Structure 1
Amino acid sequence: MKNDQFKWAVGIENTFVTQIAKGERALDEYELTQHYDNWEADLNLARESGASMIRYGIPWYKVEQNPDEFNWDWTDQVMGYFKRHPSLTPIIDLVHYGTPHWLTNEFANGHYPKMVARFAKAFAERYGEFIKYYTPLNEPYVTAEFSGLNSVWPPYLEGLAGFYQIMTQVSKGIILTQQAIKSVVTDAVFIHVDATKRYVTHEERLNSEVVLWNENRFVMWELVQGCINSEHPLYDFMITYGVTPETLEWFLSHPVEPDIVGLNYYPQFSVHSISRDSKGHIVFPHVMGTGKDFKEIAAEAFKRYKKPVMITETSFRGSEEERISWLNSILEACKELNEEGIPIVGLTWFPFFDLVDWGYRTSGKSVEDELLPFGLYSLESKDGKLNRKKNRVADAFEDLIRYHNEGGER
């Protein structure tokens, strides 16, 4: 991998799902991990790691607490930091799962695409002079799963009809967001980020399901780039579950392209083995993924879209030894892909420090009990504060960056 092409990045977990119902608690990772108070120290640590990019989210629900009224006070401070420290380039997550509270029905609201584009344009008008990298919406697939398929997050839809309703809504939002930013920041770079999936099976009778779901994993990219016409393998399936021909025609008429395809890959969560349960229902349990699985996903994405690929999230929930082992494995996969002519232009360790499990919304447990060991920095609670403690994974990450910057192959 050429030194001037491969970017080392980190990311701070920035899930914002703050509407509550049914005994839930707000899930604002910046609040729970005390990043709002420690943002400058956290960004200093990120710079000190040697990373040259950082994925960074904007809490839309705080910025726009009333429609078309924007409070940039906190965001101004953070964006000012990036302006002062251009060695750390932000990739801005404009939406990371949540919406403002005034937007009834959240992603299912018919006005959502225009509302998110308005927010994106306001951000670009304020910071676009020096903020050039944008992700319009993080992980449409997971958003559609949690908000539309499994009824876990607002607006609590269920089933494949709910999945596709949310998916088409957020995909429209991605298109309008990209157009809005481009109208202001003509040299903006768009990284379309989604959770990666790979489906396998040990049952020959389920091979057709594997084909279907391995197609569906690319549904956001297919929609926003205007690929789903009447001949597309997902067309009839989506129509069956409530997507109208007129909706798909809209996407055909309003395509946008990413500059970079962003793949989020977690070996513990990205690979599924399709089988049937005791009642005959198809189920998709996780199985442990490998670097080889990531290579298949990345190769297929590049074959389809002919765009550079960036690993926009990866890490491993486990011991420091397990995380270091995974870091080495995914870097080896990157090296092999580049040697095979598939341009992998960067790797993001995500999250930079430990996160609070999303189950916090309903578990009733304390933040300390819900901390998950993913990060380069561990979070340790003392006297009500979550202290950032550098661990051996960070040392390994920094060593690899130094080796790479000094001309090494990795």
Structure 2
Amino acid sequence: MKHNNTGPEIWAGIECTINRIGNVYHQQLEKSGHLNRLDDLDKFAALGIKTIRYPILWEQIAPGKLEDADWSWADERLNRLRQLGICPIIGFVHHGSGPIHTDLTDPEFPVKLAAYATVFAARYPWIKYYTPVNEPLTTARFSGLYGHWYPHGHDNNIFSIALINQCKAIVLSMQAIRRTIPDAKLVQTEDLCKIYSTPILAYQAAFENDRRWLSFDLLCGKVDENHPMWDELLSYNILPDTLTWFTDNICLPEIIGINHYLTSNRFLDENLSLYPDHFHGGNSYQRYADVEALRVPDIDSCQLYSLLKEVWNRYGLPIAITEVHLGGHREEQLRWLKECWETAQQLYTEDIDIKAITVWSLLGSFDWNSLVTRNDHFYESGVFDISNNTLRPTALSTMMKGLIKGHNYDIPLLNKPGFWKRADRFLLQYQSELVLSGFDDEMDDEPVAPVLIIESDTDLSNAFATCCRSRAIPYQMVSMHGQDQIDYLTVREMTELYKPWAVISTIAYNTNFRKHTSELMNLADMSVQNNSQLLVFLPDNAGCTIGLLKIMPDAMIVDRLQCSAEYSPVQVNRWMDLLIDKAFGAIDAA
């Protein structure tokens, strides 16, 4: 990993969680298929990346005794990364609790992970960068406080033991690695959030805002008698000697890795009646609602810039944004990546040592809508979409390549505000107040090229219009009044007037599509001249896809469309994502 003086870099990462629910392990690499595809690495390299967060996870390599570990998978992958000139930042535990013979509350957990690290370093002495445990504080909360993951604890003692064991495992692992690789570097990651509240709950917000630093503070030797969490940890039956061990074994990160998600920041409100039951929670003294802060007005809750400034002011160590990902529609993913990149660049101009942003979830992720507590195979795509068991590059791939090369990547939708800057993000009880107060979406006064929907099949046209409205995508409709052919002059006039970035024709051509050859060629030519994406539909079993592809090779053609009065929002949203991805050729309607 070579850092230059030209500004932040673009790194990449794979969602690789192996977490335990009861005695069942959920493994992201198995679900994504990466376990069995070596050539994924070549596709990653083609993006232009030089650094990747890469998992060689303890539970996968050595699920039993360490002497029985199977390193063949790691050998093959790490050697290929080396050949490709990509520097790996190696992870050993990612939201896991280790193999079945240990867990986060096991006093031997730190020593056992350090033993794994010792063997790893001896086998791969050329690897310099490590994240022995990803997000130890977050994992401790989810496993020890909230009961989501093994050992499914619900008390502060289990939380504290899980946190301390993970942080001690990081220290011992780095000590073990450095006995073989003296210049090995720690890249320590953590999900960073900020808590907001009503005045009555200011005490709880202050407590959680102190607690959020604990993993970094332990590693940096900051948790002493003067630390705001010292007495709290002692009240959880943590011994003073356990805490002073960290001040005697300081393990400063070479790079502090910040993982921040838009819903990480929270707002606490004692007025339970304002919120649905699933937001209700509390502490030992008081019940309150715990909601995403971005759902509440008048809270500066989405400023990654401010959070990173807090990190810099607290530690003064180099920073990387080590996970940039958003589960949602493609245009929102692009907007979030753009915002994170611009934030990093702004901080760099202010002489803050920010090394990189990491485009996370190269292969997407599974079941994070349930915090990986269920095995539903709910998939969110990332830089690649693997929903059809192949790696299809998405618009994130194109944007990522452009950023790495120093090019601006721009599509009209990037000029619209992300949902986290729009009024419709707020909970319903606040939206009427905002209308009265004249709340304006950020950047929403900029003109944006629309989608042009050629209306023939009214149901399909309306489905796309609904999709556009729900996603705040500007659109224009041009009606063909039920005709089975396009009024080319009308469409041309609309195209010249609105300059759409995409044209969607809802006319379903039948098997005798050849009589429409001229209008199809005109539509295709017009789209090429206007640099517009083109989407056309075929009825079920039309059998004319090959012929259409010859006429319009750059178009996206949805085949085997069942003419129906009800089009699934999931289906229509998928087609819209594919348009943004600039997909072309035959696409199955399913």
Same fold, TM exceeding 0.5?
yes
In the alignment, structure 1 residue 137 sits paired with structure 2 residue 139 = no
SS in 2 for 1:270: coil
Q: 1:355 aligns with which of 347, 362, 365?
A: 365
In the alignment, structure 1 residue 215 sits paired with structure 2 residue 210 = yes
Superposition map of 1:66-145 within 5 A? 66-69=64-67, 70-86=69-85, 88-104=86-102, 106-128=103-125, 130-145=126-141
Gap change, CA 1:281 and 1:242, over 3 Å in 2: farther
Partner residue, 1:372 = 380
Higher relative CO (Cα under 8 Å, sequence separation at least 6) belongs to 1
Partner residue, 1:206 = 201
In the alignment, structure 1 residue 177 sits paired with structure 2 residue 173 = yes
CA displacement at 1:124 relative to structure 2: 0.8
- Kept in 2, the 8 Å contact 1:3–1:404? The answer is no
Partner residue, 2:319 = 309
SS in 1 for 2:39: helix
Amino acid at match of 1:239: L
Q: 1:331 aligns with which of 341, 355, 366?
A: 341
Partner residue, 2:41 = 43
Q: 1:393 aligns with which of 390, 393, 396?
A: 396
Gap change, CA 1:102 and 1:376, over 3 Å in 2: closer
Partner residue, 1:274 = 268
Partner residue, 1:408 = none
Q: What is the TM-score of this pair, normalised by structure 2?
A: 0.63
Amino acid at match of 1:372: E
Gap change, CA 1:277 and 1:37, over 3 Å in 2: farther
SS in 1 for 2:170: helix
- Kept in 1, the 8 Å contact 2:178–2:184? The answer is yes
Gap change, CA 1:2 and 1:329, over 3 Å in 2: farther
Q: 1:318 aligns with which of 328, 334, 357?
A: 328
CA displacement at 1:102 relative to structure 2: 3.9
Task: Summarize deviations over 1:159-179 as a string: whole Å, max 9, x none.
Answer: 222211111111111111111
- Kept in 1, the 8 Å contact 2:64–2:101? The answer is no
In the alignment, structure 1 residue 402 sits paired with structure 2 residue 400 = no
Moved more, 315-324 or 112-121: 315-324
Gap change, CA 1:133 and 1:141, over 3 Å in 2: same
Moved more, 337-346 or 280-289: 280-289
Task: Summarize deviations over 1:132-177 as a string: whole Å, max 9, x none.
Answer: 1111210112210121111121122112222111111111111111
SS in 2 for 1:297: helix
Amino acid at match of 2:383: L
Amino acid at match of 1:228: V
Amino acid at match of 2:94: H
Q: Distance in 2 between matches of 1:312 and 1:229?
A: 28
In the alignment, structure 1 residue 263 sits paired with structure 2 residue 258 = yes
What's the C-alpha RMSD, in Å, of the aligned pairs? 2.2
Gap change, CA 1:126 and 1:19, over 3 Å in 2: farther
Task: Summarize deviations over 1:33-58 as a string: whole Å, max 9, x none.
Answer: 111111x2221111111121111111
Amino acid at match of 1:217: R
- Kept in 2, the 8 Å contact 1:17–1:26? The answer is yes
Amino acid at match of 1:8: I
CA displacement at 1:214 relative to structure 2: 1.5
Partner residue, 2:28 = 29
In the alignment, structure 1 residue 63 sits paired with structure 2 residue 61 = yes
CA displacement at 1:113 relative to structure 2: 0.5
- Kept in 2, the 8 Å contact 1:224–1:257? The answer is yes
Q: Distance in 2 between matches of 1:404 and 1:126?
A: 39
Q: Distance in 1 between matches of 2:127 and 2:135?
A: 21
Task: Summarize deviations over 1:261-283 as a string: whole Å, max 9, x none.
Answer: 1001111x321112236384244
Superposition map of 1:291-310 within 5 A? 293-310=303-320
Task: Summarize deviations over 1:205-241 as a string: whole Å, max 9, x none.
Answer: 2223222211211100111121111111111112222
Q: 1:288 aligns with which of 271, 274, 294?
A: 294
Partner residue, 2:51 = 53
Amino acid at match of 1:67: K
Gap change, CA 1:18 and 1:363, over 3 Å in 2: closer
- Give aligned-pair identity as a percent: 27
- Kept in 2, the 8 Å contact 1:355–1:372? The answer is yes
Structure 2 residue runs without a partner (length 5+) = 273-281, 409-590
Gap change, CA 1:342 and 1:352, over 3 Å in 2: same
SS in 1 for 2:390: strand
- Kept in 1, the 8 Å contact 2:98–2:104? The answer is no
Q: Distance in 2 between matches of 1:255 and 1:281?
A: 38
Superposition map of 1:8-23 within 5 A? 8-18=10-20, 20-21=22-23
Q: What is the TM-score of this pair, normalised by structure 1?
A: 0.89
Amino acid at match of 1:265: H
Amino acid at match of 1:343: D
